[in-house]
Amino acid sequence: HTRYQITRKRLSGERNMAAGSSSFQNPDLSFSVYRRFSDWIFLHSLLERDLPQSLIPSPPPKKSLHKTDTDFLEMRLIQLHAFTRALADHPGVRTNQYFRQFLYLTYEQWEEL
């Protein structure tokens, strides 16, 4: 299975959700989490359930053939980036607990949801 890396900068005053810490972090640090395609699909289902009155952007389509094809993986990465950006730009999603957990929790923590 392919895991995709999500890297983002911590914002000033942002708490370290992944570590479960209540202390504030250095705003210059960036961090990464890893997600599989199925994690974006799961996030989408959580958001639709949690925000039933909102029109949630759709995730990229799943393709079952040639999953390891380099061109396919590069295109999927672009599509997942665009999908994640659309979610971050959505007023109801950007502050949603599930979206924030998706961006912050380690792979292992996310799998426990």
Residues 6+ apart with CB under 8 A from 67: 2, 73
Distances in Å between the alpha carbon of 21 and those of 14, 25, 87?
11, 9, 25
Give me the pLDDT at residue 70, please. Answer: 83
- Whats the size of the chain, residue-wise? 113
Comparing 28 with 97, which gets the higher pLDDT? 97
pLDDT of residue 110 exceeding 80: yes
The answer to whether residues 57 and 83 touch, using CB atoms and an 8 Å cutoff, is yes
pLDDT band, very low/low/confident/very high, at 16 (cuts 50, 70, 90): low
What per-residue confidence (pLDDT) applies to 62?
Answer: 84
Given a cut of 90, is residue 109 above it in pLDDT?
yes
Considering the chain, what percentage of its residues have pLDDT values greater than 90? 58
pLDDT in tens, 37-88: 999 999 999 999 999 999 999 999 887 666 667 888 889 999 999 999 999 9
Cα atoms in the 13 Å half-sphere on the side-chain side of 25: 16
pLDDT of 10 = 67
